[in-house]
Each structure stands twice: as C-alpha cells, then as structure tokens.
Structure 1
Amino acid sequence: MELTLKKRKKNTIIPGFTLTLGYTMLYLSIIVLLPLSMVFFNTLSMSWSEFWETIADPRAVASYKLSFGTALAAGIINVIFGTIIAWVLVRYQFPGKRIVDGLVDLPFALPTAVAGIALATLYSPNGWVGQFFDFKIAFTPLGIIIALTFIGLPFVVRTVQPVLQNLSSEIEEASASLGATRLQTFTKVIFPELLPAIITGFSLAFARSLGEYGSVVFIAGNMPMKTEITPLIIMTKLEQYDYVGATAIATVMLITSFVLLLLINIIQWYTNRKFNLK
C-alpha cells in the first residue's frame, strides 16, 4: 500500500490528486454527462411503441444509412489522403510549405455554413467544377461525402503529422541498409508506428462527420429518402416543436455512435498492444 502511494506521488506532476480528480469528474459531468442524460430522460417520456414508430420511420432509417455511410466513406478518404498530406508536409521542403500547412486548418476556422455555400456553388450543375461533369455532384450523396471530407481532413493530418515528425528518417535508412525495399520499409517499419494515430484521426473525423449539419445542409439538397441526413431530421422536428421525437432519433444516433467509437478504441488498443509486444 505504501509503495502504491509513493508511486502515485512520484508520477503525479500536479499536486492534489483528489482535488484535480474531483474537478475533472465534476467538469465532465456538467459539460458532457448532464446534457447527454437529458436526451435519454426526454426519450423516456415516450412509450416503447411510440419510440419504435419514431425511430423506425422509413424516412428516419434512410437518413441513418445516409449519415453513417457518407461519414464512413469520408473518413476512409481522409485517412488515405490525410496521411499522404501529413507525409509531404513532414518529409519534404518546397516553396509555399507554410501556406499549405496553414490551409489544412482552414476547415477549423471557416464557418460551416460558409463552407456549405461555397461547396454547393462550386459543385452545382452550373458551378465552376460541376459544369464539367455529366453527372450531378451537388444535391447527391457524393456531394455530402465531399463536404464531410472537407471538414474532416484536418483531424487526420494533425493527428498523423506529430507522429511522423517524431519518426526519424534514420530508421528508414537503417531498414534500407538491411536490404528492405521501400514497400517493406513502409509496411514493416513506418505503418505500424502510424497506425494508432491513423485510427485516432479516423475516429475523430468520423465522429465529426456524423454530427455535421451546416456544411452538409446546403450541398445535400435535403430530399427525403435520398439526401436527407439525420441531423436535418432532428432540426426539422425541433422546428415543429416535436422535442420528444427529436430526442428519440438523437438517442439512436448517440447510442450507435458510442458503440462504433468504442469498437474503434478497442481496435486501437489492440493494435497498440500488438505492436508494443513486438
């Protein structure tokens, strides 16, 4: 017991473990747990049949599929291209590098409504980009994926970039001197180090995309059963003063998102454990 207390005291930089832990739990309870619990409390006022009728409505089910499908697609795209962008920013020197590095953070600072209007104007059938395609981009699920990719890219880049900066290029040189090819060096040396950061970036981008509203509502077209996302249905019910119905759908999104993020964290823990044992 005495050794445990000494170890805790040694590893604690900020004094007052009990005080800081209590403050942490209080802060999380007020900021996170209390608002989320209200969603469940409002939903409990519904009977099971009313709850099921609300969440199983074909329009709501179509929005679930669209929201989760487009968020997943945007997350995968951001993992691929976000990792490439992070690699270029860390490994290469080129004119305008600082400008490019700053542009990565632009989706953080740009209001989502402005981003949505800009993307809708750009990819509409008469837009600067949309006019060159025979198929529609705006007002389709493809347009939603583009919007979600835009707002989720910084999460992957800024998560992978510090890991690459701490990964010395000498490791790659040592791998090459031992006869490994570039592909072997990447798959056996670099990728295992990047994988936890990639998974973290994906989970952040995926979670951000699920709740995105401002940038998507302008480019989606909001056609029921086709391009209507779940956050829009929730907003519509709130505007109709159907607060219980809105919280019921929000509960489905909350539980599903929690389960998916839990699975992602389990995968991240497993990969960390697997590669650390090696």
Structure 2
Amino acid sequence: MAAARTLRVLPGFHLTLGYTLAYLSLLVLIPLAAVFIKSASLTFDEFWEVVTAPRVVASYRLSFGLSLVAAAINAVFGLMLAWALVRYSFPARRFVDALVDLPFALPTAVAGIALTALYAKNGWLGQYLAAFGIEVAFKPLGVLVALVFIGSPFVVRTVQPILEDLDTELEEAAACLGAHRWQTFRHVILPILLPALLTGFALAFARAVGEYGSVIFIAGNIPMVSEITPLMIITKLEQYDYAGATAIAVVMLLVSFALLLVINGLQAWTAKRTGRSR
C-alpha cells in the first residue's frame, strides 16, 4: 500500500504544488483580494449607495440578464452546430469547423465594429430589419447579438468531442426497441451530452458577463437602456473613483460566482445521475 501510495505522487510534488499556489496567488487570489480590500475603504452605507444606484442596477439587469439569454441561445444552436459538424458530411465542412473558432481569434473591438456596421440602420442587414421596425445596433438587442457571437464557440467545442465519442450503437439499439428519433435523442443522447452542454453554457455565460470590447460599439451606451456593468466600472475609473469601481466589481464577482456555482452544481448532479442510470 505504501508503494502504491508513493506511485500516485508525482515527482517533485511539493515543488509543483508550491509553484501552482504561487502562480494562482499572483494571477488570481491577490488581484481579487485587492478588489475586496479597496472596496472595504467604503463604509457600508457608501458601498450600498454605489452598488444600488439606479443606473448601476439597470446595468446589472442588462449584463446578467442578456448573458444568461445569450448562453441559452448558444446552448441550443451550439448543440445543433456541433451535431451537424460531427454527424454529417457536406461541402466546406472543414471551413465551417474552422470558422467556429473565429470569435476566439478575432479582436473584440474588431468584432464590435463589424457587428455595428452590419446591424446599423444603414448596414447590410440592419437596413432590411429597420424596414420591419427591428432595431439592433445601439439597442439591448445589439448587446445580445454581440454576446451570442463571442460565446458561440464554447458550447460547440465542449459538446463536439462528446458527440464524436458517442457510440451510434446506442441509437441503433433504441431504434430496434421501437423508439423514434425524438425519444432516442431525449432519453439516450441528451443525458450523455447534458454535463458537457451545461459546461459550455457556464463558459459562454462567464465570457459574456465580462465582455467589453465587442459590446461597447454596438450597445450605444445609453444610460438606463444599453449600458453594461463593465462600462460602469470603466466610467468610475475614468472619474478616479477607484473605490466605487471596485465596489461594483465586487457585486459583479459575487453574483457571477454564485451563478457559476449553481451551474457547476447542476452539472455535477447531472453527471452523477447519468452515471448512476447507466
């Protein structure tokens, strides 16, 4: 047992652990602690006044609400895109597969300018949407479009490997037992994909909450209408109100952490339930 226990420990474990803790402290823990310490310079009443200002609360609703909606949209259509890339062969399939990663490589400011030019009232698509009374650019809908764009690769790249490893014999067995396609997908395929789908949803949500570059151009930044929370933080910094900026950042951090904790808990519960059902 001692030999087996020794084999489980990597060579240089203590050095590796020390390096890992130092690395995480410098990049994650110390900056986050600095945010909390700086916001602590405010009294509770001052802190509450900053984080509950009507303009700031409106930015919370916009950022977190649209981030959840964008992540949900990406979960649905990202699954469909991953399914098409894995299960079907079609012309330019490799090109489409490479195109999925474009939001990763494209600078966010470039994405924002491109989306604004595309969906503005005189843009290629915006001029046709405006004829039906649909305004995208400089509206909350434009923020949603930008968040869907930057979060789409996360779901596709999370679900795609699971689909590739999924044995088609499971579907054939379900079909032999009389299940039609929707029943096969709902009772056989979806439970296997659900943990990965929730992971992609969480990643897309986390990416959308902190997005700034691509949103700032298409949002219009109208107070109480299309201002995102990261913009409120930048505004406070430009006014040299560092304590106010960190106070808003603390609220954003706590809410994001709570939502991600719930999503990860749901993911773990789903994975455990799926493993038990197997």
Provide TM-score, normalisation by structure 1. Answer: 0.96
| Corresponding position of 1:142 | 141
**How far apart are 1:49 and its partner, in Å?**
1.0
Q: Which runs of 4+ in 1 moved over 3 A?
A: 5-12
SS of equivalent residue, structure 2 residue 145: helix
**How far apart are 1:22 and its partner, in Å?**
2.4
- Tell me how far apart the structure 2 counterparts of residues 172 and 86 of structure 1 sit (CA, whole Å): 17
Describe the shift of the 1:65–1:6 C-alpha distance in structure 2 as closer, same or farther (beyond 3 A). Answer: farther
- Tell me how far apart the structure 2 counterparts of residues 35 and 9 of structure 1 sit (CA, whole Å): 36
Taking only aligned residues, the RMSD between alpha carbons, in angstroms, comes to 1.2
- Tell me how far apart the structure 2 counterparts of residues 197 and 26 of structure 1 sit (CA, whole Å): 30
**How far apart are 1:8 and its partner, in Å?**
4.1
Alignment of 1:234-253 (within 5 A): 234-253=233-252
CA deviation map 1:186-239 (0-9, x unaligned): 111110110000000000000000000000000000000000000001011111
SS of equivalent residue, structure 2 residue 23: helix
SS of equivalent residue, structure 1 residue 46: coil
CA deviation map 1:9-58 (0-9, x unaligned): 4445x423333222222211111111111100100111111111100100
Alignment of 1:116-265 (within 5 A): 116-133=112-129, 134-265=133-264
Q: Which amino acid aligns with 1:72?
A: L
Q: 1:42 aligns with which of 25, 38, 58?
A: 38
- Tell me how far apart the structure 2 counterparts of residues 75 and 112 of structure 1 sit (CA, whole Å): 18
**How far apart are 1:97 and its partner, in Å?**
0.5
SS of equivalent residue, structure 1 residue 93: coil
**How far apart are 1:6 and its partner, in Å?**
4.4
Of 243-252 and 20-29, deviating more is 20-29
**Gap regions ≥5 residues in structure 2:** none
Matched length: 274
**Gap regions ≥5 residues in structure 1:** none
**How far apart are 1:275 and its partner, in Å?**
1.1
Do structure 1's residue 271 and structure 2's residue 267 form an aligned pair? Answer: no
| Corresponding position of 1:57 | 53
Identity percentage of aligned residues: 61
Provide TM-score, normalisation by structure 2. Answer: 0.96
